[in-house]
Amino acid sequence: MIRRFLFVPILLGSFAVVALLVALGPEPEARKFEPVLTEVQVQSVHLDRHRVAVTVDGTARPARRTAVAAQVAGEIVWAAGALRTGTVVAPDSPLFRVRQTRYSQAVAEARSRLAEAELRLLREQAARELAQAEWERIGAEPNLLALGVPQLAAAEEGAAAARAGLETAEADLRNTEVRAPHAGLVASRSAEVGEWITPGQRLLELLSLEVFEVRVSLPDAALPLLDLPFRESGARPPPARVTATLGPPNAEVRWTWEGRLVRMEGEIDPATRFLPAVIEVPRPYQTTPDGRPPLVAGMFLQVEIEGKEFAEVATVPVSAFRADGTVLVVDGEDRIRIRQVDALWPAGEEALLVRSGLVNGERLVVSPPSMVAEGMRVRVVRSPKAADPSGGAAPGRP
């Protein structure tokens, strides 16, 4: 019983000692806690003039594919010795020769008919002159038949027909020798010595070497960026650079040719929204001191077409764009501002050209945080990889 009564005073005494120690002890220091700010990397916006370039892929093909055909019938008795697929022939060089016997005979017969027709014409002219003089001596008015007018007209027509027949026979004789219509590469040959050919039969196919074409497909979004080669516009066709990457893996070499966008073909494909266009490349087989290979038909190429020049354009990294197409900038108080921008065209594989929505010199967030709000304060860190203000990277593919 005595122990139960002693427990209460002991407990009260303990509370009193603790209260005394707290009262006599030092006061705790007051600490100020600052909020943790989101860290963002920024780079300065640089507005400058920029010429857009549209990069697409295409395939080389000759501008002309000529089917060389026979114009006369007969047996092939001769062919050029080096006339094989892949060889180059000079313009007007002989390719095949057809047996000429029947055509030489046709020329001789045509000359004989012409001589007879001209002799008849001379006779009719003399007869008309004689009849005219006789009727004038008599003093009577003759009719046309008596003067020999229709006889002379028939003789003149006969001479003209004989002359035309001789020209046809001589042309057939010349056509027994088939010549190259232009310089070209033999793509295929379908006739040999000893074969009988007929007019219109294909003998070989020539690929032109003066000009090659590269057919490309332009996205409809690129059309406002180019000076399109329509005749009514009178604009000079925009230049284009054609590039082929050749060589073994890890040792490729890039070879380039200069060309121009000369025409558009067809219409926009409603499924793909692409429009076919043609790039002309002159002298595709011309050699260069650096050992550039020829531009071979069927070669896969990358084409960079020079576009229009735009003022006040910024080069913005792709990483700076959010999912909704907006970008973030940081104002003078280190607060986030959300901007709507007008992206114009790719500038390299990692940047886009922006023509509105940004101000020169302001700070652009290159890696937007996932959670952000308008006016939110952030801690700014300068990006170690700033974009080239000139957009110097090669234009990206659409």
- Give the residue from 218, 368, 215, 387 showing the smallest Cα distance to 307: 218
Ordered per-residue pLDDT tens for the chain, 398 residues: 455 555 556 666 666 666 666 666 666 565 665 677 888 999 999 999 999 999 999 999 999 999 999 999 999 999 998 889 989 999 999 999 999 999 999 999 999 999 999 999 999 888 888 878 877 778 777 777 777 788 889 999 999 999 999 999 999 999 999 999 998 999 999 999 999 999 999 999 999 888 999 999 999 989 889 888 765 555 678 999 999 999 888 888 999 999 999 988 878 888 989 999 999 999 998 888 888 999 988 899 999 999 999 999 999 999 999 999 999 999 999 999 999 999 888 888 889 999 999 999 999 999 898 888 999 999 998 876 654 444 333 333 33
Tokens coding 189: 């040959």
Q: How far apart are CA 237 and CA 212, in angstroms?
A: 16
Angle (CA) 37-42-44 rounded to 5° is 145
State the burial class of residue 77 (Cβ atoms within 10 Å of its Cβ: 0-12, 13-18, 19+).
Answer: middle
Neighbour tally for 222: CB within 10 Å: 20
Report the pLDDT value the prediction gives residue 365, as an integer from 0 to 100.
Answer: 94
**Site of tokens 């023509």:** 355
Closest CA to 200 of 209, 211, 212, 190: 190
B/e letters for 238-256, b = 16+ CB within 10 Å, e = fewer, are: bebbbebeeeeeeeeeebe
Give me the pLDDT at residue 390, please. 40
pLDDT score recorded for residue 393: 36
Nearest to 38 by CA among 381, 333, 383: 381
DSSP state of 397: P
Rounded CA separation 112/162 (Å): 9
Structure confidence at residue 217 (pLDDT): 93
Integer Cα distance of 270 and 300 in angstroms: 25
Residue 234 is predicted with a pLDDT of 59
Note the pLDDT of residue 194.
94
DSSP H or E run through 314: strand 300-317
The answer to pTM > 0.75 is no
Q: What single-letter DSSP state applies at residue 130? A: H
- 243 touches 256 (CB < 8 A): yes
What whole-number distance in Å separates Cα of residue 204 and Cα of residue 180?
Answer: 10
Q: What pLDDT score was predicted for residue 136?
A: 76
